[in-house]
């Protein structure tokens, strides 16, 4: 598939078309195709792993008419801009969200998420996130916290943390840039740890399916990763995940697709994740993916202090119904400004009991330690009722530091464990699963 063009009366008048590999025109476009049109065509025709490379394809900038031979982005109307014009464009407000182009140079970053057995690299398709989850740690990380100047320039952001959820900067040309990186870099130079297994995850700092534009970037990125035989993990709170089932099926067992579902109590989830979809919609998306043969996982995180054995039983029974699945679990951690925001959000939504528990956790570290240990243990115990359900717990570093002796050793062993997922030929090294670690010798319950 290729974008072709014909000149009109002058060099600046061009009409575009898309041709398939047999040089047949599959789509005739006007003189100024939008990025949305081009990405849609890419998705509609031919092999799901085929991409339309928009670099050096004869496209002209909608503002200055120069030919696009390098970086590009779209303006609010979706027209394609050269990089200079894109950087001169002011943000616009769409449904209360300030949007613009992300000037970030990096394409794929090494990640510490191997400590959670998730990945070795992350790719983020945007800066900012429209979901605006109250507990989100992203605005406290250097990727946001150290970039207030850029965020002010690009989206009039006053305070990157307080304004989190109200700005979004897209990386439209990421698929093209990733293609260059993967073609030019020796694969052996990529980081590969035992727990991260060389996996590339989308996304750690934004939701990669939060809207059509991010989904279009994500599709291009995933296509590049798959065609370069790189294992991929996708995590999203959006049911729009299902739009790329065709592509995920081609990836086979080199991909796993997951969603965060901390609870099915929709009003509580809405209080904490104000702009994300209801949890049952996320489950339905995973069900659709699983039925299409796509490997799926769930991130049950962060679980709230009022959740008890019955809540976990309900959650895990829904997850078990998805068939072969790995569930990652993490209790909530009382750190930073975002924890205070959770507390206020719970209180504002009438969840007084949740707010009181969070307050107590923040004021009394030992209270949090006991809650976290209790939840990790309860979830692992409930999981034993569901044959073949793997729960991979994430004990926090601070929790480990707050314990000692055998309990601390067990928590460390849990942290070192590799999730039981296979990525094609990349299997977890043989080791005790987390549930065996908890059952063996002295039980976790006795140690708490
Ligand atoms: S979806 Fe993820 S990145 Fe977006 S606000 Fe929520 S936790 Fe943060
Ligand atoms: Zn231009």
Every domain of the chain and the residues it spans: 2-88, 237-447
Quickly list H helices, 4-102.
35-44, 83-88
- pLDDT value of residue 317: 97
Helix axes 309-320, 365-383, angle to 10 degrees: 40
Distance of alpha carbon 339 from alpha carbon 302, whole angstroms: 11
- pLDDT value of residue 101: 98
Sheet hosting strand 390-393, strand order edge to edge: 109-110, 121-122, 200-202, 232-236, 255-260, 296-303, 325-331, 390-393
DSSP string covering 349-386, please?
TT-HHHHHHHHHHHH-HHHHHHHHHHHHHHHHHHHTTS
Mutate to test the pocket of ligand 1, among 124, 125, 126, 129 (most ligand atoms within 8 A of CB): 129
Q: Which ligand is nearest to the CA of 135?
A: 1
- pLDDT value of residue 45: 87
Q: Which ligand is nearest to the CA of 341?
A: 1
Mutate to test the pocket of ligand 1, among 136, 164, 205 (most ligand atoms within 8 A of CB): 136
Cβ atoms of residues 114 and 120 within 8 Å: yes
The torsion angles phi and psi of 140, rounded to 5 degrees, stand at: -90, -5
DSSP string covering 387-448, please?
TT-EEEE---HHHHHT--HHHHHHHHHHHHPPPS--BTTB-PPS---HHHHHHSSS-HHHH-
Enumerate the β-bridge partners of residue 82. Answer: 72
Q: Which ligand is nearest to the CA of 79?
A: 2
Residue 110 CA to ligand 2 center (angstroms) comes to 32
Distance of alpha carbon 56 from alpha carbon 2, whole angstroms: 11
**Beta strands at 296-303 and 325-331: parallel, antiparallel or unpaired:** parallel
- pLDDT value of residue 217: 98
Our answer on whether the CB atom of 131 is closer than 6 Å to any ligand 1 atom is yes
Our answer on whether the CB atom of 136 is closer than 6 Å to any ligand 1 atom is yes
- pLDDT value of residue 152: 96
What residue's CA is closest to ligand 1, atom 1?
A: 207
Cβ atoms of residues 305 and 361 within 8 Å: yes
Distance of alpha carbon 302 from alpha carbon 394, whole angstroms: 10
Lookup: tokens for 55: 């670099």
Nearest to 143 by CA among 122, 119, 172: 122
Nearest ligand 1 atom to alpha carbon 273: 6
> pLDDT truncated to tens, each residue of the chain (448 aa)?
899 999 988 878 899 999 998 999 999 999 999 999 999 999 998 799 999 989 889 999 999 999 999 999 999 899 999 999 999 999 999 999 999 999 999 999 999 999 999 999 999 999 999 999 999 999 999 889 889 999 999 999 999 999 999 999 999 999 999 999 999 988 888 999 999 999 999 989 999 999 999 999 999 999 999 999 999 999 999 999 999 999 999 999 999 999 999 999 999 999 999 999 999 999 999 999 999 999 999 999 999 999 999 999 999 999 999 998 999 999 999 888 889 999 999 999 999 999 999 999 999 999 999 999 999 999 999 999 999 899 999 999 999 999 999 999 999 999 999 999 998 877 777 566 676 766 665 677 777 7
Nearest to 65 by CA among 80, 50, 75, 55: 80
| Cα distances (angstroms) measured from residue 310 to each of 263, 340, 380, 409 | 12, 27, 13, 29
Cβ atoms of residues 236 and 299 within 8 Å: no
Contacts of 124 (CB under 8 A, 6+ apart): 109, 143, 171, 202, 203, 204, 205, 206, 208
Q: How far apart are the first and last CA of the chain?
A: 60
- pLDDT value of residue 439: 67
- pLDDT value of residue 424: 82
284 sits in which H/E element: helix 279-291
**pTM here?**
0.95
Nearest ligand 1 atom to alpha carbon 131: 5
Q: Which ligand is nearest to the CA of 66?
A: 2
Nearest to 356 by CA among 343, 367, 366: 343
Nearest ligand 1 atom to alpha carbon 204: 3
CA torsion angle 244 249 250 253 (round to 10)? 120
Using alpha carbons only, how large is the chain's radius of gyration in Å? 23
Nearest ligand 1 atom to alpha carbon 137: 8
Cβ atoms of residues 66 and 99 within 8 Å: no
What residue's CA is closest to ligand 1, atom 7?
A: 136
| Cα distances (angstroms) measured from residue 249 to each of 44, 48, 120, 256 | 16, 9, 23, 10
Nearest ligand 1 atom to alpha carbon 236: 1
CA angle 410, 411, 412 (to 5 degrees): 90
Distance of alpha carbon 274 from alpha carbon 132, whole angstroms: 6
| Cα distances (angstroms) measured from residue 83 to each of 88, 150, 193, 326, 443 | 9, 16, 36, 42, 59
Our answer on whether the CB atom of 262 is closer than 6 Å to any ligand 1 atom is no
Helix axes 336-348, 352-363, angle to 10 degrees: 150
Cβ atoms of residues 88 and 388 within 8 Å: no
């Amino acid at each position: 598939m290729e974008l072709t063009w014909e000149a009109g009366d002058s060099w600046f008048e061009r009409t575009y078309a898309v041709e398939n590999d047999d040089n047949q025109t599959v789509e005739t476009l006007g003189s100024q195709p939008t990025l949305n049109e081009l990405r849609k065509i890419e998705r509609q025709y031919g092999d799901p792993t085929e991409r339309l490379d928009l670099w050096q394809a004869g496209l002209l900038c909608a503002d200055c008419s120069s030919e696009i031979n390098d970086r590009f982005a779209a303006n609010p109307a979706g027209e394609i801009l050269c990089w200079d014009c894109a950087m001169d464009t002011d943000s616009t407000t769409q449904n209360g969200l300030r949007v613009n182009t992300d000037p970030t140079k990096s394409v794929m970053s090494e990640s510490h998420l191997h400590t959670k057995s998730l990945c070795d690299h992350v790719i983020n398709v945007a800066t900012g996130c429209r979901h605006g989850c109250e507990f989100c740690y992203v605005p406290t990380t250097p990727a946001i916290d150290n970039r207030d100047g850029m965020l002010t320039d690009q989206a009039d952001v006053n305070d990157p943390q307080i304004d989190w959820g109200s700005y979004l900067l897209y990386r439209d040309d990421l698929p093209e840039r990733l293609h260059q990186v993967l073609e030019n870099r020796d694969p052996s130079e990529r980081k590969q740890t035992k727990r991260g297994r060389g996996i590339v995850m989308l996304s750690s700092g934004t939701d990669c399916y939060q809207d059509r534009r991010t989904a279009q970037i994500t599709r291009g990125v995933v296509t590049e990763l798959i065609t370069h035989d790189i294992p991929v993990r996708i995590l999203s709170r959006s049911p729009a995940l299902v739009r790329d089932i065709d592509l995920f099926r081609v990836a086979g067992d080199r991909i796993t697709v997951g969603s965060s579902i901390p609870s099915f109590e929709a009003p509580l989830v809405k209080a904490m994740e104000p702009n994300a979809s209801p949890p049952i919609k996320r489950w339905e998306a995973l069900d659709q993916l699983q039925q299409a043969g796509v490997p799926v996982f769930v991130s049950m995180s962060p679980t709230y202090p009022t959740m008890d054995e019955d809540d976990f039983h309900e959650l895990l029974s829904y997850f078990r119904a998805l068939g072969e699945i790995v569930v990652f679990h993490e209790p909530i951690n009382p750190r930073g400004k975002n924890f205070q925001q959770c507390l206020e959000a719970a209180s504002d939504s009438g969840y007084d009991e949740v707010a009181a528990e969070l307050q107590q956790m923040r004021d009394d570290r030992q209270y949090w330690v006991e809650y976290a240990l209790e939840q990790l243990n309860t979830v692992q115990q409930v999981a034993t009722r569901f044959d073949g359900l793997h729960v991979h717990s994430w004990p926090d570093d601070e929790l480990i530091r707050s314990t000692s002796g055998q309990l601390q050793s067990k928590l460390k062993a849990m942290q070192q464990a590799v999730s039981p997922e296979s990525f094609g030929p990349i299997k977890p090294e043989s080791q005790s699963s987390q549930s065996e670690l908890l059952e063996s010798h002295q039980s976790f319950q006795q140690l708490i």
